[in-house]
Structure formats: structure tokens, C-alpha cells
Amino acid sequence: MKPEYKPFVDELIELAIEEDLGDGDHTSLACIPAEAHGRMRLLCKQEGVLAGVEIAQLVLHRLDPAMRFEQLLDDGARVKPGDVAFYVSGRLQSLLQAERILLNIMQRMSGVATQTAVYVARLEGLHTRVLDTRKTTPGMRVLDKMAVKIGGGENHRMGLFDMILLKDNHIDFAGGIRAAIARTRDYLAARGKQLPIECEVRSLEDIDEVFAAGGVDRIMFDNFTPEMTRRAMEKVAGRCETESSGGITLDTLREYAECGVDFISVGALTHQIRSLDMSLKACE
């Protein structure tokens, strides 16, 4: 885990525990003796890419530091039905409190990682990399971003604070591409910030406007057809990084990549996923 992610993860875990436990797990408190100990295993029930093992361990140790964690598989492992990712042993009340929180996190993260791996595989042999977007579940972004990396994809930006992305609305409200870029450069200089600048373009002519303004690190081709993308790449001619975005599906992904773009951003990596089925069950 990147050090800068840790505060987000810690806060997310605290919220997950608070919303699930409230003033206590009264079911477990009512029928499970406080001194009872046991062992459980994380069982994978579908094929996919495992993600969230590191976070599961944080959840378990946050609820009960005395729990013993026996890891068998790492994040990024290809799993099939019947694979066991880890065993955990300790107080039964603590294990039962952790069960749903842990599964919610791991099933979603594994679903994101699995879907990302499918997109990454479609680009085998090409230099183009798959990027995620900010289309994430509120509060879960850090885990979604981690899962994309585990699945072989790349992170675009964590939020609005770590990169400049001049999109259509910014450009329209600012009075055009040149004005938006100029104001951005002035803003960063005045505050002593060094953030990468990316600018969205909606036409081939917009590319000329971007280079006339100067100072942009990446151009995003928004809703271009593959033919437009090829022509756009000829215009850019290696002067900056390039990204395709907007309406690109798994079926069209490789066609866009073959145009030579550096990145393709895909919102579906995080907002159209199926969680991977798994369970945390008692065992010997």
C-alpha cells in the first residue's frame, strides 16, 4: 500500500466498523461466550483475481490485535473455486464481527481487479495502458484504485487535488482552451505547485489550440472515433502523452490502442463490476 493511501484506508475501516457494529454485535454477544476461540478460512468461490488480502488483515487486527493471520495467497493471485486465501484464528466474537466487513471489501476489490485484468489482457503486446477514473463508490475510492493496480491497470488520479484535468466544462466556462490553460499555468505558478496538466479535446482543431497554448503534459481525445484518433495521433506526433476516453468498450478497446495512444481510461473498471463470490467460514 502506498503510504499516502494509509489515512484513507484507516478512515474507511473505522467507518465500516461503526456502521456495522453500532453499539455492539448483539447476536454474537448473546450466543457466543466471550472466551470462545476458533478458526475461519477465506474461501474463493469463483475464478478471478484476488484483491483485498492486505486490507482484510488491517480490518481483523483493528477489531482484535490478538488475532492470528495465516496468509496463503497474495493480492493479485489468480484464484479458482475452492482456493483458500487465508486462515484466521482468535476470539469467535471478534471473527464474527469482522466477517461481513471483510467480505464486503474483498469481494468488491476482487471484482474490480478481475474486471481490470480482462481489459489489460485485451491489450497484450501493445504499449497502451488501461486507466481508471473517478467513477468510484463514494468513500471506497482508495480501495477501488488499489484493486485496479492489483488487476494490472494504472491509476489516473486519486481526486481533484493531485492532477489538473481541463475537461469540457472547465474549458467552456473559462472561455476556451487557450484561456483555460493560461489560467491554469498562472494558478500553479502563483502557488508554487507542480501538478501535471491534461487537457481534453473534442475535435482535431482543438489539438492545435492546446499546442498553441503550450505547457500541457497530456491530451485526452474525448469521444473520438478510431479514425479520428489515428489522425489525432499524427497531429500530436509524440509531443506529449495521449489518452483516449469516452464510450470505449471491451470490444473496441484494442482498436483504439492500435492507434498508438499511451492510455485509455475506462470508467467501467470501477462502476460496472460484479463482486467476486467468496465466504469466510468456520473450519478446524
Domains of the chain, earliest start first:
3-117+274-283 (3.90.1170.20), 121-271 (3.20.20.70)
- pLDDT tens digits along 124-138: 999 999 999 999 989
Tell me the three cell numbers of residue 191.
502557488
| pLDDT computed for residue 176 by the predictor | 98
pLDDT of res. 3 = 87
CB-based contacts of 119, cutoff 8 Å, min separation 6: 130, 153, 250, 253, 266, 269
How many Å apart are CA 177 and CA 220, to the nearest integer? 13
Burial profile 65-81: b = 16 or more Cβ within 10 angstroms, e = fewer: eebeeeeebebebebee
pLDDT < 70 stretches in the chain: none
Q: pTM for this structure? A: 0.95
Please, what sign has the CA dihedral across residues 118, 120, 124, 126? Answer: positive
**Residues acting as catalytic residues:** 100, 135, 167, 200, 222
pLDDT value for 4: 85
